[in-house]
């Protein structure tokens, strides 16, 4: 028996588990379809290159346990992302920006043609972020779907990690390592965990992400392929982080499901 698709989320909320007729008869008005998008890319010497996609599936699986009978449906993850900032580091399998845009648009059009009204682009790889923000609006314009974009809220775990990790721990550090120890511990080689923080000590206004940003590839900012302190990671922290992130995620998914664009212009005063 194929164990890959077992467990509650796959039995109850995995859209391709249903037949075409089942899907035709789903109530579409309040259904939310989730398209997870991850990455296959180097995450240092200690984590599998599948880290981001494992995190996407692991968090959604857990969230679905708390969203029974909510008419929320998960599509198979797009396992590859736009990872060209890691190209050349072994094991990175990247799509180009234009390819990922085309794949996401094709799937969004398919979701629309199946009769659904709401689509969530669920992203766990930083390198996909800007592209998916742009695509969310493009899909809205092209298909009329209501489109959401969500990166699971890693800020929910800030109280568990140092300020340095919060600011610079963006890849393969304490958070991602702890999460994979919890979600797929056998795939972590913890004894090889590095610590490396980018040196921005002379720059107080420039950041790796955010409003004042400089373009970088991984080789510009890291010797080890990571940014953060993976040695602080533990399975226990991973479990707590997963619970904190999922608790926020569940609330956000419920809000998306009940969200209506039609409500947005109600506070109008005709002067
Ligand atoms: Zn990652």
Domain ranges of the chain: 9-261
pLDDT in tens, 193-207: 999 999 988 988 888
3-state SS of the chain?
A: CCHHHCCHHHHHCEHHHCCHHHHHHCCCCCCEEEEEECCECCCCCCCCCCHHHHHHHHHHHHHHHCCCCCCEEECCCECCCCCHHHCCCCCCECCCHHHHHHHHHHHHHHHHHCCCCEEEEEECCHHHHHHHHHHHHHHHHHHCCEEEEECCCHHHHHHHCCHHHHHHCCECCHHHHHHHHHHHHHHCCHHHCCEECCCCCCCCCCECCCCCECCCCHHHHCCCCCEEEHHHCCHHHHHHHHHHHHHHHHHHHHHHHHCCHHHCCCCCCCC
CA dihedral sign, ordered 205, 209, 214, 217: positive
Q: Rounded to the nearest 5°, which phi and psi values hold at 5?
A: -105, 35
CB 35 within 8 A of CB 106: no
Q: What is the mean pLDDT of the chain?
A: 94
**Stronger pLDDT, 154 or 240, i.e. the higher one:** 240
pLDDT in tens, 166-194: 989 999 999 999 999 999 999 999 999 99
Residue with tokens 């809220």: 153
48 Cα to the center of ligand 1, angstroms: 10
pLDDT in tens, 17-60: 999 999 999 999 989 999 999 999 999 999 999 999 999 999 99
CA 204 to chain centre: 28
172 Cα to the center of ligand 1, angstroms: 6
Q: Residue 262: pLDDT above 90? A: no
216 Cα to the center of ligand 1, angstroms: 16
234 Cα to the center of ligand 1, angstroms: 17
23 Cα to the center of ligand 1, angstroms: 33
* Cβ neighbours around 266 below 10 Å, total: 6
CA distance 205 to 161: 22
pLDDT for the residue numbered 271: 66
pLDDT for the residue numbered 266: 81
Tokens of 258: 């009940």
Choose which CATH entry (3.30.540.10, 3.40.190.10, 3.20.20.140, 3.40.50.10310) describes domain 9-261. Answer: 3.40.50.10310
pLDDT in tens, 229-240: 999 999 999 999
74 Cα to the center of ligand 1, angstroms: 21
2 Cα to the center of ligand 1, angstroms: 27
CA distance 193 to 230: 5
Task: Give the residue from 112, 104, 114 showing the smallest Cα distance to 145.
Answer: 112
Task: Give the residue from 65, 59, 56 showing the smallest Cα distance to 12.
Answer: 65
Neighbouring residues of the ion ligand 1, judged by CB less than 5 Å:
51-52
192 Cα to the center of ligand 1, angstroms: 17
47 Cα to the center of ligand 1, angstroms: 9
pLDDT for the residue numbered 21: 98
240 Cα to the center of ligand 1, angstroms: 18
């Amino acid at each position: 028996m194929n164990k890959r698709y077992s467990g509650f989320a796959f039995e109850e909320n995995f859209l391709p588990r249903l037949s075409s007729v089942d899907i035709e008869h789903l109530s579409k008005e309040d259904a939310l379809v989730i398209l997870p998008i991850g990455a296959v890319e180097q995450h240092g010497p200690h984590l599998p290159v599948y880290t981001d996609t494992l995190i996407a599936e692991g968090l959604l699986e857990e969230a679905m346990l708390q969203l029974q009978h909510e008419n929320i449906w998960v599509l198979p993850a797009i396992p590859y992302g736009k990872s060209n900032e890691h190209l050349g580091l072994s094991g990175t399998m990247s799509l180009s920006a234009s390819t990922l845009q085309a794949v996401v648009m094709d799937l969004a059009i398919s979701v629309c043609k199946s009769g659904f009204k709401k689509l969530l682009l669920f992203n766990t790889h930083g390198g996909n972020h800007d592209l998916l923000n742009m695509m969310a609006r493009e899909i809205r314009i092209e298909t009329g779907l209501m489109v959401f974009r969500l990166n699971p809220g890693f800020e929910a775990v800030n109280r568990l990690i140092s300020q340095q990790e919060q600011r610079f721990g963006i890849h393969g550090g304490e958070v991602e390592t702890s999460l994979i120890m919890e979600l797929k511990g056998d795939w972590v080689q913890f004894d090889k965990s590095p610590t490396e923080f980018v040196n921005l000590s002379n720059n107080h206004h420039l950041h790796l992400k955010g409003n004042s940003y400089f373009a970088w590839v991984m080789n510009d900012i890291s010797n080890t392929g990571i940014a953060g302190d993976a040695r602080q990671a533990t399975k226990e922290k991973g479990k707590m982080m997963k619970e904190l992130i999922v608790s926020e995620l569940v609330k956000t998914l419920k809000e998306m499901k009940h969200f209506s664009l039609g409500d947005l212009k109600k506070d109008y005063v005709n002067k």
